Chains A and B, each alone.
Chain A
Amino acid sequence: MSILLGRSPDRRPPEAAPAHTGSRTTRILGALTLAGLVGLGLCAFIFSPPDSRPGPEAGTRIGQFDAVRLMYVHLPAAIWTYVALGTCAMASAVYLWRRSAWWDRLAHACAEIGVVLCAVTLITGMIWGRPVWGTWWEWGDVRVVTTLVLFLVYAGYLAMRSVPAAPEARARRASILGLGGAVLIPIVNRSVEWWENRTLHQQSTLEELRIEDLTLFTLVLGILVMGLLSLWLAVHRFRVAWLEAEAESAGLEAALAERRAEAGAGAEGSSP
C-alpha cells in the first residue's frame, strides 16, 4: 500500500515477509558457529595446556594455570563488544544523516549484542581476576573501568529503547544516545587512564604468557568463533526487528480500516 511504503521506503512489500528469521545464509552461519564452538571448547579445555612456567625458586611453578582458559572467551568477547558497540554508534550516525529505518534497526541489534558481550567480558574478567590478580575488581585498571562505563551507557541506551514511543521519535532519540556513547567513551578512557596512572592489565598478554602454538591458535579461534556467533545473533536480531515493524504496520492497516469504518458509521449517524 502506498501509505505504508511512504512510512519507510526501505521496506520490502509485505508478501516477502518470512515466517521466521532463518535463511540459508544464517543456517550455514549457524552451523559454522556451532562447529566452531565445539572446536573452541575442545581446544580451550582439553588440548591447550595450562599457563605455568618455572618460578624464581627451584621447584615452584608460577603462571595463570587453568585460569588462562578464560582468556579464550574473555578476549574475544571484549574485542567484539567494541566492534558491536562501535557499529551501533556508526549506524546511529548514519541514521541521523539518512533517516532510514534500516540503520536504526542495525544500531538496535548491535547494541543488544554489544551489551550482552560486554557483560560476558566483565564477568569472565572478574572471575579471572580473582585468582590471578587476587581481586574481583581492580579500580586501577583503565580498560576494566572504561568497559564498565561503556556497559552502563549502552544499558541506558537499551533502557531508553524499551520505553514505548512512536518509532521515528524513538529512533531519533536512540541515535543521539548511541552516538553520545561513542563521544563519551574516549573521554572516560582518557580520564581513567590519568586517574590511576598504573595499569594491571596485561599490556601484552601474548608476550607474558608462555605462548605455545596451540594457545595462540585457540585464542585466534576464539576470536573467530565469537565473531561468527555475534554475526549470527546480529542477523537474527535485525530480522526480528524488521518483522516487528512489519507486524506493526500490518496492525496499522487493520487499525486504518477500523478507523475508516468508524468514519462511515459516524457520517451516516450525523447526517441531517
Chain B
Amino acid sequence: MREVLLVAAKDLRIESRSRVLLFQVAPFAVATLVLLGFALDADRSALRHFSPGLFWVAVLLTALLAAQRSVAVEHAGRAADALLLSATSPARIFAGKALALAAQLAALELLMGVAMVVLYDARVEHFGLAVASAAAATVGIAAAGTLYGVLAAPMGVRETLLPVLLLPVFAPVLIGATRAFGDALGTAAVNGWAWFGLLGLFALVYAVFGALAYGPLLEAEA
C-alpha cells in the first residue's frame, strides 16, 4: 500500500508542477461541453434532457487526454524502465497510477459538473446517487485508461492508437453512467442504483484485470 501511495503521490506531484491537466485538459473539457451545447442548438429543454449523456461523453474524451498524459509521464526519459527495475510489483504500480488518474479525473468531473449545471441548466436531484455513480465510473475509467494506456504506450503511435482501443471499452461506462445520472438528475425514470451496480462491476473487473495484466505489458515495453 505504501508503494501504491508513493506512485500516486508522485504522479499528482508531477501534475502540480507541470499543470498540464489544469492548463490544457481542463479547458478542453469545458470547450467540449460548449461545443455539445452548440450541437443541440442551445435548446434549453433538450440540453437539460440530454445533459447526463453530454456530460459523460465529454468526460470520456477528457479521460483519453488524461490517460495519455499519465503514460507520457513515464515514457519521457524512460522512467518506466526505472519502475521496472525497482522491486515494486507491477500490480502496485498499476494501482498507484490508476489512483492518481482517478483523483485527477474526479477534479475534472467536478469542474465539468459545475459547467453542466451552468450551461445546460441541469439540476441534481439525488446528490448521493450522482456522487456514488460518478465515483464508480471514475475508478473504472481510470483502471481501463491506465491499462490501455500502457498497452498503446511505446509504439510511437500512441495518440492515434489509444482512442481506438479505449473508446469501445468505455461503451458500458457511458451507458451506465448516463443512465445513473439520468436518475440522479431526474431526466430519466430508471433505477439509478442498479446502474451504479453495473459501474461498480466494470470498475472491479478492470481493476483486477489491469493489476494482473500490467506486469506482462510493462515487460513487453522493455
A residues near B (Cβ < 8 Å) are 96, 149, 152-153, 155-156, 159-160, 163, 165, 168-170, 172-173, 175-177, 179-180, 183-184, 187-188, 190-192, 194-195
Let me know if B151 and A177 touch, CB within 8 A.
yes
- Please tell me the number of chain B residues within 8 Å of chain A, measured between CB atoms: 32
Contact with A along B184-222 (1 / 0, CB 8 A): 000000000011001001100110010001001101110
> With an 8 A cutoff between CB atoms, is B175 at the interface?
yes
Let me know if B161 and A163 touch, CB within 8 A.
yes
Taking CB atoms and an 8 Å cut-off, the chain B residues in 154-187 that contact chain A are: 155-157, 161, 164-165, 167-169, 171-172, 175-176, 179
Say yes or no: A194-B151 contact (C-beta < 8 A), given A96-B216, A163-B157, A184-B169: no
Alpha-carbon distance A13/B86, docked complex (angstroms):
39
Let me know if A159 and B195 touch, CB within 8 A.
no
Let me know if B216 and A165 touch, CB within 8 A.
no
Let me know if A173 and B217 touch, CB within 8 A.
yes
B residues near A (Cβ < 8 Å) are 147-148, 151-152, 155-157, 161, 164-165, 167-169, 171-172, 175-176, 179, 194-195, 198, 201-202, 205-206, 209, 213, 216-217, 219-221
Which residue of A is nearest B208, CB measured? A183
Residues of A within 8 A of B209 (CB): 179-180, 183
Let me know if A187 and B164 touch, CB within 8 A.
no
Alpha-carbon distance A218/B219, docked complex (angstroms):
50
6 contacts between A and B (CB under 8 A): A156-B168, A170-B220, A172-B219, A180-B169, A187-B198, A191-B172
Residues of B within 8 A of A149 (CB): 168, 171
Residues of B within 8 A of A183 (CB): 205-206, 209
Which residue of B is nearest A176, CB measured? B213
Q: How many A-B residue pairs have CB under 8 A?
A: 78
Alpha-carbon distance A256/B155, docked complex (angstroms):
25
Residues of B within 8 A of A188 (CB): 171-172
In the complex, what's the smallest C-beta–C-beta distance from B142 to chain A, in angstroms? 16
Which residue of A is nearest B164, CB measured? A156
Let me know if B216 and A172 touch, CB within 8 A.
yes
Alpha-carbon distance A163/B198, docked complex (angstroms):
34
Let me know if A165 and B155 touch, CB within 8 A.
yes
Alpha-carbon distance A195/B164, docked complex (angstroms):
23
Residues of A within 8 A of B164 (CB): 155-156, 159
Contact of A184 among B168, B176, B217 (CB under 8 A): B168
Residues of A within 8 A of B198 (CB): 187, 190-191, 194
Alpha-carbon distance A192/B172, docked complex (angstroms):
8
Contact of B161 among A96, A159, A172, A194 (CB under 8 A): A159
In the complex, what's the smallest C-beta–C-beta distance from B217 to chain A, in angstroms? 6
Residues of B within 8 A of A169 (CB): 220-221
Residues of B within 8 A of A160 (CB): 151-152, 155, 161, 165
Residues of B within 8 A of A176 (CB): 147, 151, 213, 216-217
Alpha-carbon distance A188/B175, docked complex (angstroms):
9
Residue picked from B172, B205, B217, most chain A C-beta under 10 Å: B172
